[in-house]
């Protein structure tokens, strides 16, 4: 048994020469710490600890014999054998003496301090192999027992199918071993990756930075499309800024990691020039220290810049395709970010899940929402890779480059615009996907630094402009206009159209539930596909009892004197869960193919009814989908009081229904011809309610929207909303263009006022 001090090494005592025993990640962190760079406190659990633990469990020899799989092994066998090997590791008991040493090192970091527990293999982060994302890492681990379990899980990831495949592809034949670094968590406000040479072009005079809000795992894991910045290495001049699209961020809190929704349409820079400059200068210093271009991960917390990882860039070969000005006959289908140089022509294979990989033929082009490192066993068979999301520094892009595959990421629409069997050419230098077999000689000139987006707005506004839709008929034509998504998709009109006006309960009673779900899902899916990846917010059925009564089979409806404030919305879902479950079934089916669709619950009056309604959602399979956003309509004045409590129940956003809110604030029927002079959405009482909804929602971290036409016609009203921090507005399609202009003018006036105040 090894001596105890060989199992754990403080990070400040190690450096690059120690990589064989503590892994590349730990060695680089120690090197940076000793050189005075800002690195969070950490310690390394050595490869000796792993090997000794496996020796003690009597499984080391069995593991070593299966280090690299047979190159001809089929996927199913690879998966099953790898799972069995990993189980040998997780079932092994950590020797008591080793556990004591690891726990003592953890306790020296602080009492129950949250840590990141990250794999650090000896060959990882080396000059020729990155192992980017191949082994597991775990964040926000708290407590001694949890740290031990996380260390074992990192050990086990040495035996995953992707790790075994990667070792085979990279020619690693030695007995595999693994170290682990345990590092104090940085509660990141923003984070990302910096390359001190452009990985797409090999240009060593540029620094490429990708950044997103929250923890950096969303960037390196390709979970979002990050901001991409290009900076000149000699002058640190900002050469290019490409704003990404982030739907959520991950925050580190005392109770663990939490997922917080972000409106992807708010095109606001993650890093301003000052912070970007700090990252670029730090990256340049680190490159100078190592004498080789670096790929580093950074995080900002309370305006302090931390470096949490660095490694040599393993892929700096010059581009292999010669993009010329040519004759321009080639037809670009999609543009994105060139993330893996070179070109490839092949047939499209759209894969939404790893389990679909068996359909991929050798040399076909993988088209996916995003590829992850665990896709490695099938990536090796692909001719090229095209994704909807991700950035050039995500793990999948790095692995794709190492495999020599042309990669285009961040196209936003590849899985909807391309079809199985279609022949395409992927240009990983220019970030373009062409129709058919296109030779370099006829490829039109393109630029890498400024990809063209077919779905980008003509006039850019920080405030998103959504549309209200009721049927799928016009979805395709509206989606082609300058809008950021669907802020209100009304279910009620599709009942009339798709179901010929039948009452949903009547169809259930006749045993035709599946027919209802299928027809409604077809309509919602048509809209979702047209707008993808832009969000579509589906409002659950909100017919009033008198409107339900007019449907076929509606005689079961109660008679109400004032249906507008009667049996509807959230309260009805609580009393009639079968009705609500129809909406949930529809969304669950649609989101399997179109994850851009989200749920909105209308007419919420009290906390208890929303709690019961959300409990129904949580019991449904749809409720286990963490990426589906939960919205509520804000039409009832009581929302002003209850909003902080609603936020605690787990909603992500509120949409202000200005017409209903005006009715209920002023006590006037908007349909009354006699009282029409009283109906005024600009009444100070209504504006005050809107202000307080936005203020309280923003304070709770919720996104905010407003459905109503006044914002399209009144610059004053638009400016009022923008000044209050509204996230988005949603209007009828015919008003969208004017609304964008109105909002833009309002934002410009605000900027002028701020500049004037600063000068004064």
pLDDT per residue as tens digits for the range 336-358: 888 777 888 999 999 988 778 88
What confidence score (pLDDT) does residue 449 get?
29
- The angle at the Cα of 24, spanning 18 to 29, to the nearest 5 degrees, equals 80
pLDDT digits (tens, 9 = 90+) for 255-275: 666 778 877 555 578 999 999
pLDDT digits (tens, 9 = 90+) for 356-397: 888 888 889 999 988 766 676 677 788 999 988 777 766 557
Percent above pLDDT 70 for the chain: 85
Mean pLDDT of 125-143: 66
What confidence score (pLDDT) does residue 152 get?
93
What confidence score (pLDDT) does residue 274 get?
93
**Is pLDDT of 441 > 90?**
no
Pairwise pLDDT comparison (490 vs 451), residue with the higher score: 490
pLDDT tier, 155 (very low <50, low <70, confident <90, very high otherwise): very high
Q: Which of 514-523, 559-568, 711-720 has the lowest mean pLDDT?
A: 711-720
Mean pLDDT of 691-719: 84
DSSP result, 443-462: PPP--SSS---TT--SS--S
What confidence score (pLDDT) does residue 393 get?
63
Burial of 3 (0-12, 13-18, 19+ CB in 10 A): exposed
Distance, in Å, from the CA atom of 488 to the CA atom of 467, rounded to the nearest integer, reads 7
- Strongest mean pLDDT among 65-79, 151-165, 313-327: 151-165
The CATH number given to 4-184 is: 3.30.1490.20
What confidence score (pLDDT) does residue 160 get?
82
Say if residues 501 and 552 touch (Cβ distance below 8 Å): yes
Mean pLDDT of 613-622: 93
Please report which helix (H) or strand (E) contains residue 213, including its range. Answer: strand 206-213
What confidence score (pLDDT) does residue 75 get?
65
pLDDT digits (tens, 9 = 90+) for 193-233: 999 988 766 678 899 999 999 888 777 766 777 888 999 99
**Is pLDDT of 593 > 90?**
no
What confidence score (pLDDT) does residue 245 get?
77
Q: Which one is catalytic: 588, 598, 707, 720?
A: 707
Q: Helix, strand, or coil here: 653?
A: strand
Q: Helix, strand, or coil here: 511?
A: coil
CA distances from 630 to 598, 599, 665, 703 (A): 7, 5, 25, 11
**Is pLDDT of 442 > 60?**
no
Structure tokens at 486: 């669907």
**Is pLDDT of 318 > 80?**
no
Say if residues 703 and 679 touch (Cβ distance below 8 Å): no
Q: Is 707 a residue of the active site?
A: yes
Map 612-645 to HEC letters.
HHHHHHHHCHHHHCCCCCEEEEECCCCHHHHHHH
pLDDT tier, 57 (very low <50, low <70, confident <90, very high otherwise): very high
Say if residues 313 and 294 touch (Cβ distance below 8 Å): yes
pLDDT digits (tens, 9 = 90+) for 66-95: 776 666 667 667 777 888 888 899 888 999
- The angle at the Cα of 576, spanning 730 to 548, to the nearest 5 degrees, equals 60
**Is pLDDT of 454 > 60?**
no
Mean pLDDT of 612-641: 92
**Is pLDDT of 700 > 70?**
yes
Could you identify the residue written with the tokens 């050990």? Answer: 155
Distance, in Å, from the CA atom of 365 to the CA atom of 342, rounded to the nearest integer, reads 13
pLDDT tier, 634 (very low <50, low <70, confident <90, very high otherwise): very high
Q: Which one is catalytic: 135, 395, 620, 652?
A: 395
Q: Which of 352, 345, 317, 290 is nearest to 593 (CA)?
A: 352
Pairwise pLDDT comparison (719 vs 614), residue with the higher score: 614
Could you identify the residue written with the tokens 């910096």? Answer: 194
The CATH number given to 464-759 is: 3.20.20.60
For the chain, give every domain's residue range: 4-184, 190-312, 332-442, 464-759
Q: Which of 324, 321, 346 is nearest to 429 (CA)?
A: 321
Mean pLDDT of 392-412: 73
**Is pLDDT of 8 > 90?**
yes
What confidence score (pLDDT) does residue 127 get?
42
Q: Helix, strand, or coil here: 730?
A: strand
Structure tokens at 231: 């900076």
Mean pLDDT of 147-161: 90
Could you identify the residue written with the tokens 């921090």? Answer: 725
Query: pTM of the prediction?
Result: 0.49
Distance, in Å, from the CA atom of 612 to the CA atom of 571, rounded to the nearest integer, reads 9
Say if residues 399 and 379 touch (Cβ distance below 8 Å): yes
Domain 332-442 has CATH 3.50.30.10: yes
What confidence score (pLDDT) does residue 713 get?
62
Mean pLDDT of 509-519: 88
Burial of 421 (0-12, 13-18, 19+ CB in 10 A): exposed
Distance, in Å, from the CA atom of 164 to the CA atom of 294, rounded to the nearest integer, reads 26
What confidence score (pLDDT) does residue 742 get?
82
What confidence score (pLDDT) does residue 602 get?
94
What confidence score (pLDDT) does residue 40 get?
94
Q: CA torsion, points 363, 367, 372, 375, in degrees to nearest 10?
A: -40
Mean pLDDT of 130-143: 74
Distance, in Å, from the CA atom of 483 to the CA atom of 526, rounded to the nearest integer, reads 17
How many angstroms from the chain centroid is the CA of residue 295? 21
Mean pLDDT of the chain: 83
Distance, in Å, from the CA atom of 164 to the CA atom of 173, rounded to the nearest integer, reads 10
Distance, in Å, from the CA atom of 64 to the CA atom of 60, rounded to the nearest integer, reads 6
Mean pLDDT of 466-494: 86
pLDDT tier, 30 (very low <50, low <70, confident <90, very high otherwise): very high
- The angle at the Cα of 90, spanning 85 to 94, to the nearest 5 degrees, equals 125
Region for residue 143 given its phi and psi (left: phi exceeds 0; alpha: psi -120 to 50; beta: otherwise): left
What confidence score (pLDDT) does residue 109 get?
94
The CATH number given to 190-312 is: 3.30.470.20
**Is pLDDT of 106 > 70?**
yes
What confidence score (pLDDT) does residue 2 get?
42
């Amino acid at each position: 048994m090894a001596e105890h001090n060989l199992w754990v090494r403080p990070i400040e005592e190690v450096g690059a020469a120690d990589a064989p025993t503590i892994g590349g990640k730990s060695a680089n962190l120690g090197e940076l710490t000793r050189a005075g760079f800002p690195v969070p406190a950490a310690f390394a659990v050595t490869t000796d600890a792993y090997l000794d633990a496996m020796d003690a469990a009597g499984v080391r020899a069995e593991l070593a014999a299966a280090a690299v799989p047979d190159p001809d092994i089929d996927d199913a066998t690879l998966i099953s054998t790898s799972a069995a090997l990993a189980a040998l590791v997780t079932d092994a008991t950590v020797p008591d003496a080793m556990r004591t040493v690891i726990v003592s090192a953890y306790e020296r970091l602080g009492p129950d301090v949250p840590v990141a527990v990250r794999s650090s293999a000896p060959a990882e982060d080396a000059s020729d192999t990155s192992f980017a994302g191949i082994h597991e890492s775990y964040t926000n681990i708290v407590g001694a027992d949890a740290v031990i379990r996380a260390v074992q899980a990192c050990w086990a990831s040495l035996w995953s199918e992707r790790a075994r495949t990667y070792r085979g592809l990279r020619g690693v034949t030695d007995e595999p071993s693994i170290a682990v670094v345990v590092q104090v968590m940085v509660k990141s406000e923003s984070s990302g990756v910096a390359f001190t040479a452009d990985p797409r072009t090999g240009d060593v005079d540029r620094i490429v930075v990708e950044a997103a809000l929250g923890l950096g795992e969303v960037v390196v894991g390709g979970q979002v499309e990050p901001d991409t910045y290009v900076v000149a290495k000699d002058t640190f001049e900002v050469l290019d800024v490409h704003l990404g699209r982030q739907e959520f961020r991950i925050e580190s809190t005392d109770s663990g990691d939490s997922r917080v929704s972000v409106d992807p349409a708010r095109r606001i820079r993650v890093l301003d020039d000052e912070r970007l400059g700090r990252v670029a200068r730090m990256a340049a210093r680190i490159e100078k220290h190592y004498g080789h271009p670096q790929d580093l991960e950074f995080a900002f917390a309370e305006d302090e810049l931390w470096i949490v990882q660095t490694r040599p860039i393993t892929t700096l070969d010059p581009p292999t395709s010669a993009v010329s000005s040519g004759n321009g006959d080639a037809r670009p289908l999609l543009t994105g970010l060139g993330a893996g140089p070179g070109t490839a022509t092949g047939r499209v294979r759209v894969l939404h899940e790893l389990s679909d990989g068996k359909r991929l033929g050798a040399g076909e082009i993988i088209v996916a929402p995003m590829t992850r490192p665990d896709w490695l066993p099938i990536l090796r068979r692909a001719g090229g890779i095209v994704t909807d999301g991700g950035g050039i520094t995500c793990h999948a892009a790095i692995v794709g480059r190492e495999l020599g595959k042309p990669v285009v990421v961040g196209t936003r629409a590849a899985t909807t615009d391309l079809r199985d069997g279609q022949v395409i050419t992927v240009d990983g230098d220019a970030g373009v996907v062409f129709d058919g077999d296109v030779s370099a000689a006829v490829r039109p000139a393109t630029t890498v630094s400024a990809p063209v987006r077919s779905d980008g707005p003509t006039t850019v506004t920080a405030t998103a402009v959504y549309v209200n839709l009721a049927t799928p008929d016009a979805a395709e034509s509206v989606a082609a206009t300058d809008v950021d998504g669907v802020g209100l998709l009304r279910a009620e009109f599709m009942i009339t159209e798709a179901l010929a006006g039948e009452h949903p309960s009547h169809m259930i009673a006749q045993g035709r539930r599946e027919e209802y779900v299928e027809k409604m899902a077809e309509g919602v899916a048509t809209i979702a596909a047209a707008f993808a990846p832009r969000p579509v917010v589906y409002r659950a059925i909100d017919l009033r009892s008198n409107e339900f009564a007019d449907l076929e089979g509606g005689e079961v409806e109660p008679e109400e004197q004032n249906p507008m404030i009667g049996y509807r919305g959230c309260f009805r879902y609580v009393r009639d869960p079968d009705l609500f479950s129809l909406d949930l079934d529809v969304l669950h089916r649609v989101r399997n193919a179109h994850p851009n669709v989200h749920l909105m619950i209308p007419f919420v009056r009290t906390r208890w009814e929303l709690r019961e309604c959300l409990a129904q959602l949580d019991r449904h399979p749809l409720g286990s989908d963490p990426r589906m956003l939960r919205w509520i309509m804000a039409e009832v004045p009581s929302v002003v009081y209850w909003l902080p409590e609603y936020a605690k129940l787990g909603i992500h956003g509120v949409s202000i229904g200005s017409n209903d809110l005006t009715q209920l604030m002023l006590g006037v029927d908007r349909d009354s011809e006699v009282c029409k002079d009283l109906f005024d959405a600009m009444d100070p009482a209504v504006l005050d309610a809107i202000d307080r909804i936005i203020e309280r929602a923003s304070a709770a971290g919720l996104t905010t929207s407003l459905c109503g036409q006044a914002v399209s016609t009144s610059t004053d009203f638009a400016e009022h909303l923008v000044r209050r921090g509204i996230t988005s507005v949603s209007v009828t399609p015919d008003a969208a263009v004017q609304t964008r202009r109105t909002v833009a003018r309002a934002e410009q006036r605000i900027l002028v006022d701020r500049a004037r105040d600063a000068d004064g």
